[in-house]
Amino acid sequence: MVTGSRGGAARSIDEILGEARARLRRLGPEGASAAMTSGAVLVDIRSQAQRAGQGVVPGALHVERNVLEWRFDPRSPARLPEASYRLRVIVMCVEGYTSSLAAASLQDLGVAGATDLAGGFRAWQRAGLPVLAGPVVPGSVVPGSVAPGSAAPGSVVPGSVVSGAVLPG
């Protein structure tokens, strides 16, 4: 028998993910968009390189996964100004796996309104919701360029990535 760090039986990542999701009221893309309109904060935990390559959701707060708990723990000296036990947080990753674990971790910190975006960024994009080109990563995007057939830099086109739009990351 393999034991975990707490002396109990080791659990698989699928078991841990299932337990995390059982605690969450996961939102689909449309539900997440509506929640943002009502004051919830969409937190994009993808890396800078992923955001640059895939695009970003307008209005999302970018906090990479490795610092998430420190930024949203209301008692942490490294917390964001938004950090609060009452904050409604919707965590988003690429496909909705890492975000489930991250949202459960925020709940463990006492952020009871934490949940995640089912299907992640890809589901948001498939739903045709607004996406902008991600922040520039040196060597990855030529600032100001516009892909043939796309909209002007900085404009929002539902379900597409607009080349040349640069957001603070």
Residue 156 has which token pair?
A: 């929002």
Burial letters for 11-23: b for 16+ Cβ neighbours within 10 Å, e otherwise? eeeeeebeebbee
What residue ranges in 14-168 does DSSP mark as E strands? 41-44, 61-62, 89-92, 114-116, 130-131, 157-158
Q: Are 141 and 52 in contact (CB under 8 A)?
A: yes
Give the pTM. 0.77
Over residues 149-161, mean pLDDT: 35
Sign of the CA dihedral running 54, 125, 38, 88? negative
pLDDT of residue 133: 87
Strand partners, 131: 157
- pLDDT tens digits, one per residue of 50-76: 999 999 999 999 999 999 999 999 999
Query: What's the confidence (pLDDT) of residue 137?
Result: 55
Q: What is the mean pLDDT of residues 19-26?
A: 97
- Tell me the C-alpha distance between 16 and 148, whole Å: 44
Predicted confidence band of residue 8 (pLDDT cuts 50, 70, 90): confident
Q: Could you tell me the pLDDT band of residue 1, with boundaries at 50, 70 and 90?
A: low
| Lookup result for tokens 């929002």 | 156
Amino acid 3: pLDDT: 56
72-127: per-residue pLDDT in tens? 999 999 999 999 999 999 999 999 999 999 999 999 999 999 999 999 999 999 99
What is the predicted pLDDT for the residue at 145?
30
Q: What is the mean pLDDT of the chain?
A: 82
Q: What pLDDT is stored for residue 138 in this prediction?
A: 54
Listed in sequence order, the residues at least 6 apart from 103 whose beta carbon sits closer than 8 Å to its beta carbon are 20, 24, 89, 90, 91, 114, 115, 116
